Amino acid sequence: MHALTQAVILGVLTGGVYALMASGQTLIFGIMKVVNLAQGALVILGAYLTYTLFTHLGVDPFLSILITTPILFLVGVGVQWALLRPLHSDDVAQLSLLVTFAVALGIEGILSFGYGATLTNVQPSYANFSWTILGYQVSLVRFVAFVLSLVMLGLLYLILQRTKFGRSVRATVQNPMSAQLLGVNAQRVSAIGFGLGTATAAAGGAVFGMLNSFNPGSHYDLISRLLTIVVLGGLGSIGGSIVAAVGMGVASSVVSALVSPIWSDFSFFIVLLLVLLVRPRGLFGARTRGAL
Amino acid sequence: MRGSISRVGPLRVGIFFLLLIVIPLVGAPGWILNTLIFTIMYAALASSWNLIGGYAGYPSLGHVAFFGIGAYAIGIVFSKDVFGGYVPFFALPLIGIAVGLLSLPIGWVSMRTRADVFAIVTITLLFITQTLAFNLKGVTGGAQGASVAPPPFAVDHYDWPFYFAMLILLAIAMGISFYFQRSKIGLSLATIRADEDKAHGVGVRVTAVKLIAFGVSAGLVAMAGGVWAYYVGFIYPQFAVDPLITIGMVLMAFLGGRATLWGPVLGAFILVPAQEYFAQAFGASQLYLFAYAAVFLLIILFLPRGILPSISERLRQRRPVIATEEAFAGEESTSGPAMEVTVER
Amino acid sequence: MSDALLAIDGLTKQFGGVTAVDHCSFQVQTGTVTALIGPNGSGKTTAFNMITGYLKADSGTIRFRGETITRPRPADLYRRGLSRTFQQARIFPELSVEENLVVAAGYSWPQLFGRRVSTSDRERARTMLQEFRLEPLAQLPARELSYGQRKLVEFAAVLTSEPTLVLLDEPTAGVNPVMIDAMERHIRQRHAEGVTFLVVEHDMQLVMRLCDPVIVLDRGAPIAFGSPEHVQTDPRVLEAYLGA
């Protein structure tokens, strides 16, 4: 029982971080109907940036988020503007998918070249510190990451609900054509929206780097999880992806603790298949079609 | 009307395969055969991928999972003994059929909605297969890998059985592509590729046809994996289920032209030797990935239809819009009011 | 009641706060060319999409040929004899005109593995091509056709499966008068051969000439039903179109 509760706590905390990364992905899908297969690679990029800032400049990983977020925002805007915007042909959706896939590989390639394939992680002094509350361990890093996720999701919410830009985004998500007719600049919304989505990878990366050993190839693992979460939560629903993230975090943590860590990876895939079997639109599926 | 689909002159096929058959027989050196084995393998892989990714329009990003399964199948069954050397080759069709059938449930679940969910499931499949390969130590040997017992082939013609096995696989893959194109399966796939909802609307048996394409391509890829495993002898998880192989398949089909017979073959015959050349000349293997990605992006941005369709498009004369008796020239534009209607599931 | 070819009862669809189709009920009798008209936003196309399985209804029942269809699916309906065309003329651009007709004609399981365009396919298609005077275009890829020609091909294609009921979604929208005449002629001819039509249309003159009865929708529900003359003079219809 103790092990189970411990696993659940761990799962919720981890889920919160996944929620942040997944929400960026959901946002991108909602605006542009594009599944961003590079999100995982961007998180890893964030992790490596954090690592470099930490080991060479002594910047605290959490603080480095202030630096890496704008960087990843610009990367996102750049990718959208240079590589996605020019796509015009009949199967633009499929091509967008492949473009983001290629971007993911490109990032992996560059990181591979720059950092090599050895596993690294970011180890500030407090990396292994944990509190013991009521007999349960709560790691400092995970807890702060969870809080950070909440803060950033809150920020995202505020941006979407309270700003003019956010209104444009929501309008575009619901009805792109009407939004354009009402004066929303689709290009700008797409570019900035994509940038916002990729910016969430900065915080995700910093945290990921502290909690896991990673190398450039780690993005496959990550993107599989993020995609599972996004599909589960229903492509296009941020609230859904948050619920799905926490759910999957708990599920895989529990499986890991009670069965074995190996099977916890597998559990993602099984859950994905089962959900698709029963509800192809995901659990909270907005009626958004696939990218086609 | 064949349009962007290349016509297969029997002459072209005949010459192509004749050349490839003759090359080892006239004593080409080992390194050429070696390069050709991989080139032909990728041509077969890309052609098989093309069945689902090109003709059906469902881009599988994890097809290498089936390659790895085929590889491990050979590695596990023949780890101690190859029974004279030719038995593993005869085991291949069984592996192909088995993997093809086993892939159907996955295909069915993942193709129920749209192509991007399909892409997601296939990437996840890739990752899961690799994880299993690493972790099911009892079966796959984990990170230590598995190995196939060495075959008793004569040293001076060692490569020949593998070479011809790959060539046969390529012939099968191309043969199936050709058959698809010429049958109603291909007609159905073309409708699915163009407008799946409308295809449903005119009664096309969408699910069945997608599953056929998926299962067949999975089986073929598995067989290629089997030959590869036998040839290479050692099967490590990161190489048997290597994302680079998936990317290679997809990229080659794209480069040459999806949904064409010769496109994937052309793509393979361009990229594999090029890759070998760059490996020799520059060495740095970490840049492979980046180079692949860069080439991929260039193709998608500048030549999205691939080489062969782009050429046939240029060659086609511009025909004037023929007016039927019931429409006069100076018709309204070729696009009407735009309103999307899609099936909700 | 039970001999209506198509019977809709209580069909409802809401999008967010908007009720596009509101407990809509009507019937289409066999052997008619029934019109479904109404001002913009009255729910005609939404109703169409629900009937033909492209949109899931929130509630309501659909009965076709006396059978209740619980979950309409386009492919299933097509094989039962209910087909539709689209406002924007959806054909398969990469296939030839002939192939567009062949694929819509339907085929059995063994034929799936047979020739792409068999001799018998050619024969069937030829009849259609002749009737619609599309022979010169037969081998052209459909994407090279003009909009009007595409609408004709789409119409011809759905007829190849010899449907019982055809739902036409604005068959004359965006089409020149000569083509409108042609469409009308083909509809009349098929009607004479026993096909029933349900037509969404904005061209009132065409509706008055061709259709009987006429169903008028406003804000998601029927407000009038009857012969064209009757509907034309109904004050509710005038109000719906002209506003209060």
Residues from chain B contacting residue C145 (CB–CB below 8 Å): 321, 334
Q: How many CB pairs under 8 A join B and C?
A: 165
- Nearest chain B CA: its distance from A131 CA (Å): 32
Say yes or no to pLDDT of C54 above 70.
yes
Q: Tell me the sheet residues that pair with C59.
A: C12
Tokens of C110: 């063994």
Inter-CA distances, C150 with A7, A268, C87, C139, Å: 61, 46, 11, 14
Cβ within 8 Å, pair A266-B131: yes
Q: Cβ of A290 and B296 within 8 Å?
A: no
Mean pLDDT, rounded, for C197-220: 90
Indicate the length of chain A as a whole number: 292
- Choose from C51, C84, C103 for mutation: most chain B CBs within 10 A: C103
Model pLDDT for residues A193-237, shown as the tens digit of each residue = 899 889 989 988 998 888 888 989 888 888 888 888 888 887 667
Q: State the nearest Cα–Cα gap between B306 and chain A, in angstroms.
A: 12
Does the distance separating the beta carbons of B336 and C89 come in below 8 Å? yes
Q: Is A290 on the interface with B (CB under 8 A)?
A: yes
**Residue B177 pLDDT greater than 90, yes or no:** yes
Look up tokens 């394409």; give the residue.
B213
Q: If you average pLDDT over residues B31-50, what whole number do you get?
A: 94
Start-end of H helices in B283-317: 287-302, 307-315
User: Looking at domain A2-278, which of 1.10.10, 1.10.3470, 1.10.1060, 3.40.50 is its CATH number?
Assistant: 1.10.3470
Q: Which residues of C192-222 are buried (b: 16+ CB within 10 A; e: fewer)?
A: eeebbbbbbbebeebbbebbbbbbbbbebbb
**pLDDT for residue C183:** 87
> How many residues in total does chain B contain?
345
The residue with tokens 């034929």 is C111
Domain ranges of chain A: 2-278
Q: Which residue has the tokens 């890093």?
A: A141
Can you give the residue range of the structural domain that contains B42? 32-315
Q: Which tokens go with A210?
A: 């502290």
- Which pLDDT score, from 0 to 100, does residue B340 have? 42
Tens-digit pLDDT profile for residues B237-257 = 888 888 889 889 999 999 999
What secondary structure does DSSP assign to A92-160, as a single string? HHHHHHHHHHHHHHHHHHHHHHHH-SS-B----TTTT-EEEETTEEEEHHHHHHHHHHHHHHHHHHHHH
Closest CB to C75 among B4, B194, B206: B206
pLDDT per residue as tens digits for the range B46-73 = 999 999 999 998 999 999 999 999 999 9
Q: pLDDT tens for residues B258-301?
A: 999 999 999 999 999 988 887 777 666 667 778 888 888 998 88
Interface of C with B in 112-141 (CB under 8 A): 112-117, 133-134, 136-137, 139-141
Q: Would you say C151 and C97 are in contact if contact means Cβ atoms under 8 Å apart?
A: no
The answer to whether residue B4 is domain-embedded is no
Average pLDDT, chain B: 84
pLDDT tens, C101-125? 999 988 888 888 988 888 988 998 9
Interchain contact, B331 vs C146, CB within 8 Å: yes
Cβ-based contacts of B296 with chain A (< 8 Å): 98, 102, 105
**For residue B143, what are the contacts with CB-CB under 8 A and spacing of at least 6?**
B134, B236, B237
Could you tell me what percent of chain B has a pLDDT over 90? 43
Res. A59: pLDDT tops 80: yes
Distance, in angstroms, between B70 CA and closest chain C CA?
27
- At C84 the pLDDT is 92
Q: Note the residue count of chain C.
A: 244
Q: Which amino acid is at A210?
A: M
Tell me which residue in B61, B115, B120 faces A231 most closely, judged by beta carbons: B120
- Nearest-CA distance A125 → chain B (Å): 31
B292 within a domain of the structure (yes/no): yes
Tokens of A95: 């091509």
Question: Ranked by mean pLDDT, which of A11-15, A112-116, B141-145, B258-262 comes out on top?
Answer: B258-262
Can you tell me which residue has the tokens 């230590």? B144
Q: What DSSP line would sit under C131-197, residue for residue?
A: HTT-GGGTTSBGGGS-HHHHHHHHHHHHHTT--SEEEEESTTTT--HHHHHHHHHHHHHHHHTT-EE
Q: How far apart are CA C222 and CA C202, in angstroms?
A: 16
C208 vs B287: which has the higher pLDDT: C208
The residues in A 65-84 lying below 8 A from B, measured between CB atoms, are 83
> In one letter, which amino acid is A222?
L
Q: Looking at residue C235, what is its pLDDT?
A: 85
pLDDT of residue B334: 40
Torsion, Cα of B193, B194, B198, B201 (10° steps) = -40
Neighbours of C185 (CB within 10 A): 11
Q: Where is average pLDDT lowest: A11-20, A152-161, A275-284? A: A275-284
Say if the Cβ atoms of B290 and A106 lie within 8 Å: yes
Q: What is the pLDDT of residues C167-184, one digit of tens each?
A: 999 998 888 888 888 889
**At C200, phi and psi to the nearest 5?**
-90, 125
Task: Tell me which range, B216-220, C186-190, C231-235, is most confidently predicted by mean pLDDT.
Answer: B216-220
| Residue to substitute from C98, C112, C151, C183, interface B, most B β-carbons within 10 A | C112
Distance of alpha carbon A273 from alpha carbon C229, whole angstroms? 57
Q: What is the pLDDT of residue A230?
A: 84
Q: Quick check: is B199 in a domain?
A: yes
Do A290 and B117 make contact, defined as CB atoms within 8 angstroms?
A: yes
> Measured between CA atoms, how close is B130 to chain C, in angstroms?
35
ipTM of the prediction: 0.88
CATH class name, domain C6-91+145-242: alpha beta
Distance CA B92, CA C197 (A): 55
B311 three-state secondary structure: helix
Q: Calculate the CA dihedral of residues C234, C185, B340, B301 and round it to 10 degrees.
A: -150
Query: How crowded is residue A246: how many other Cβ atoms within 10 Å of its Cβ?
Result: 20
Asked whether the predicted pLDDT for residue A283 surpasses 70, the reply is no
Q: Any idea what the CATH number is for the domain that residue B191 is in?
A: 1.10.3470
Q: Report the candidate in B63, B106, B66, B72 with the shortest Cα–Cα distance to residue B91.
A: B72
Backbone angle region of C19, left / alpha / beta, with phi > 0 → left and psi within -120 to 50 → alpha: beta
pLDDT for position B95: 95
Q: How far apart are the first and last CA of chain A?
A: 46
Q: What confidence tier does B326 reach under pLDDT thresholds 50, 70, 90? A: very low
pLDDT in tens, B328-342: 333 333 444 444 444
Q: Is A224 on the interface with B (CB under 8 A)?
A: yes
- Contact B235/B145 with Cβ under 8 angstroms? yes
Q: Are residues A109 and B119, on separate chains, in Cβ contact within 8 Å? A: no
All structural domains of chain C with their residue ranges: 6-91+145-242
